[in-house]
Amino acid sequence: MLALNADTARRSRAYRAFKLDRAGRVASAEIVAAEDDGQARRQVRAMVGRCTIELWERTRFLGRFEPAAPGRP
């Protein structure tokens, strides 16, 4: 998990990445510091493993990132 300090907070915006369980419930959450939406989306895509992740900035939904289907990169 990323700790935001004053310098990071000035340069970045704080996004939330919610990892969902198989039932679609929030299993865990993580702060993602990024300069813009595109950078936040790239960071979350890199985080996707076996679980689905939803990306939010406050109440603004930015996307749902699914794990790759078996046999697909």
| Cβ neighbours, 10 Å, residue 55 | 23
**pLDDT at residue 1 in the model:** 45
User: Which pLDDT does position 7 carry in this prediction?
Assistant: 60
Number of Cβ atoms within 10 Å of the Cβ of 70 = 5
Mean pLDDT by 10 residues, the chain (73 residues): 56 92 96 96 95 97 90 56
pLDDT of residue 16: 98
Its pTM stands at: 0.78
Beta strands, E only, the chain: 13-20, 26-34, 52-57, 60-65
Residue showing tokens 């699914």: 66
Contact of 28 with 36, CB cutoff 8 Å: no
For residue 48, the model assigns a pLDDT of 95
Residue in 66, 3, 69 with CA at minimum distance from that of residue 33: 3
